Chains A and B, each alone.
Chain A
Amino acid sequence: MMQYLATFHTHLASLKTHRALAAAGIEARMAPVPRKISSSCGTCVFYSADNPCYDKLDADVEAVYLLKDKDAELLRQFE
């Protein structure tokens, strides 16, 4: 199981993603975006899954990171 973090362009997109992940039985939680990731004060979703679950993410997703012990690796940047 891997740990992921997804950031979004809107709070609503993170809310919808959190709901979609939870509905699929994926452990997820919403939180303020960590300062190390962005200067934005938006909301992100942390989740644990076997893969990044791109199909469960809202269309207004900004980026997905793979969380490691000390840092976060950018997996995909969206428009």
Chain B
Amino acid sequence: MKKENFFKKNWLVMLTGLLIGAAAVVLTAFGNPKNMGFCIACFLRDIAGALKLHGAAPVQYFRPEIVGIVAGACIMALIGKEFKPKAGSSPFIRFALGAAVMIGALVFLGCPLRMVIRIGGGDLNAIVGLVGFVLGILIGVFFLKHNFSLGRAYKQGPVEGLLFPILLIGGFVLTLIAGSLFAFSEEGPGSMHAPILLALGIGLVVGALAQKSRLCMVGGVRDAVMFKEFGLLAAFGCIIVAVLVGNAIRGTLNWGFEGQPIAHTEWLWNLLGMTVVGWGCALLGGCPLRQLVLAGEGNADSAITVLGMIAGAAAAHTLKTASSADGTGANGPIATIVCLLFILVISVTHLKKEQ
């Protein structure tokens, strides 16, 4: 195969980045919380709340964007004959790593996607988070280079791969026909949302494009460091550019540390929270968005990781480790340290010996 030039090779992932950034701005304009047009961690946390897995009243809503991303990726994978059900790569460790990543994300207040969206809104606390995120990925890459592995996955039947997308869609339909069974925020971020069909539609497009382009916030830094491949990192930049331009047009660009939407200024925990996310996701092989897309492609290990994230969100609010605009939760700092130690243990205990 001939080597292609950078733009020919990476135009789709860069376009996907631009569209995700634009989608975040549009979703915010139509009701999603400020600087939270698209946040996988926040949205999974809201879904955990809607399912009454935690009792934090301001963050309970069954976010259609998540349903759309998984369904969009699933449909695109089926069309492209890339739907390949598989499972069996350390499933419970992935569940626990997913939970740890979510706890770290809720200390920072956002997944890697929201981190770049916050940067695009002028939130300088997110730059601190970015430093921690890159640091975490670099630690993960160190272990990857020294024989870290969670083991291989094995081919599964179609039901194994389809069950997660079907359950998610089923849950969403239930919220429409039997809404009283679920919890919905009456105030706070969970009460702020774009119209359902718009959110679902944008989720479908983002999921389909992310499947086609393999966009991954962790993969960008990992590939740049390990292989000097900068395509995914360029997409990372494209999201920031699109959000910056969108916020500038809407007049919502606001540079600074103080008074940023749904953010706090405790730099150490912003940094370490995202270190947890970067390190954990490097071991998992992808950011929270990528885990949703892989789950849509039939990867049941990723589906379990997403369930781990939902469980982590429930734990974060029940155990008061999640931050708020007022600062870190009462148990946020200790939870961050516990998560870092946990990921260190997983990293060290999964270094395979050379045969």
Contact = CB atoms under 8 A, between A and B. Distances in A.
Interface of A: 9-13, 15-16, 30-32, 34-36, 38-39, 41-42, 60, 67-72, 79
Interface of B: 1-2, 77, 80, 82, 89, 144-145, 147-153, 155, 211-214, 216, 219, 223, 226-227, 229, 285-286, 290, 297, 352, 354
A70 B2 contact: yes
A12 B229 contact: no
Contact of B147 (A12, A39, A60, A71): A12
A15 B77 CA distance: 28
A41 B149 contact: no
Nearest to B81: A39
A10 B290 contact: no
Contacts of A42: 285
A41 to B, nearest CB: 5
Contacts of A60: 152
Nearest to A16: B354
Nearest to A39: B82
Given A11-B149, A30-B227, A60-B152, A35 B214 contact: yes
Given A41-B216, A41-B219, A12 B1 contact: no
Determine chain A's interface SS by DSSP, over half rule.
Answer: loop
B211 A39 contact: yes
A32 B285 contact: no
Given A30-B227, A31-B229, A41-B290, A12 B352 contact: yes
Nearest to B297: A39
11 contacts: A10-B151, A12-B147, A31-B229, A32-B223, A32-B227, A35-B213, A35-B214, A39-B212, A42-B285, A69-B2, A72-B1
Contacts of B80: 39
Nearest to B352: A12
A42 B2 CA distance: 20
Contacts of B1: 34, 36, 67-72
A50 B54 CA distance: 60
